[in-house]
A = this chain, B = another copy of it.
Amino acid sequence: MKKIAVDAMGGDNAPQAIIEGVNQALAEFPDIEIQLYGDEAKIRPYLQANERVTIVHTDEKINSDDEPAKAVRKKKQASMILGAQAVKDGKADAVLSAGNTGALLAAGLFVVGRIKNIDRPGLMSTLPTVNGQGFDMLDLGANAENTARHLYQYAILGSFYAQNVRGIAQPRIGLLNNGTESTKGDSLRKEAFELLSADQSLHFIGNVEARDLMNGVADVVVADGFTGNAVLKAIEGTALGIMGQLKTSIKKGGVRAKLGALLLKNSLYDLKDNLDYSGAGGAVLFGLKAPVVKCHGSSDAKSVYYTIKQIRTMLETDVVGQLVGEFSKKGD
């Protein structure tokens, strides 16, 4: 039985969306057990399942505007922290939250803890490509500064994830850089390029540019947290901006355009679905002793369901256990 701790109170649509996602996951997967942390009176009305699920009541929760490190230190009884604590205590195998990202990162680092010999866990998501295959990128912003060694570790993490969770036999790893030639970039990129090239166990394909990510140029893209965060937000902002502009443009276009949009409805939904990519699950704080996974704050029940599915696959394949083994060989 895979035991998953769920912060029932995190995110814009909590607890309803969280519990509805949990209902779906429990119905679908007979090998999971869910521990719900949060306000029992608010959780109970939405909960359908009555087996393989427990509620651990708490009044406290971390808000989206709480200062992360402080919240983790002071709010010991918050739903998110209790979930992380359950993992540390061996009562749960993984934790999921749609709440405050910074607080979850802090809880992951300070409560769940790092895998030995991993210096700086990174935040990783599967992002959309036009061919529907997607790519994993990390670090997306868990760190403001990274060294070449961190980037090298991200390549190993991402490669194990792509193999185990996404079923890609030999994931192509790209280093995000300002050009594709091997001599490109600043000293950080040049040093990371050397480290990646030297490890024959990795299928390193060289430098990749942000322009080509959506075309599926690599299966795993490694970046420092500052650049990764900026690129992720640029992709999100551009996608939202274009979809918004398209809507405005259709509105301005009068009856003719509206009729056109109606006929195009399915194609436009297709496009939206492709960009959404919530089917791949949430963002993993990767490099910790157990899966710590962040759902988007605006997640609906479906996103929560897919994130539980993702966590289940991570537990099924024991990707974290494999990484513990891999990195135990890399001690200094």
Flag A172-193 by CB within 8 Å of B: 1 or 0 each. Answer: 0000101000001111010000
Assembled-state Cα–Cα distance A243/B223 (Å): 26
A325 close to chain B: CB less than 8 A: no
B215 x A241 contact (CB < 8 A): yes
Are the C-beta atoms of B210 and A230 separated by less than 8 Å?
yes
Q: State the CA gap A240–B242 with chains docked (Å).
A: 11
Indicate whether A321 reaches chain B with its CB closer than 8 angstroms: no
Contact across chains for A271 and B253 when beta carbons are under 8 A apart:
no
Number of A residues whose C-beta is below 8 Å from B? 62
Q: Is A270 in the interface zone, CB < 8 Å from B?
A: yes
Stretch at the interface among A74-82, A83-91, A254-262, A290-298: A254-262
Is the CB of A195 closer than 8 A to any CB of chain B? no
Residues on A close to B: CB < 8 A?
Answer: 129-130, 141, 144-145, 176, 178, 184-187, 189, 209-215, 223, 225-227, 229-246, 248-250, 252-253, 256-257, 259-268, 270-271, 274-275
26 inter-chain pairs at a CB distance below 8 angstroms, sorted by A residue, are: A130-B241, A144-B184, A144-B186, A144-B189, A145-B186, A145-B187, A176-B230, A178-B225, A178-B229, A211-B233, A211-B234, A211-B236, A213-B237, A214-B238, A230-B230, A230-B234, A234-B234, A238-B238, A238-B239, A238-B242, A242-B271, A249-B267, A249-B271, A253-B267, A260-B265, A261-B267
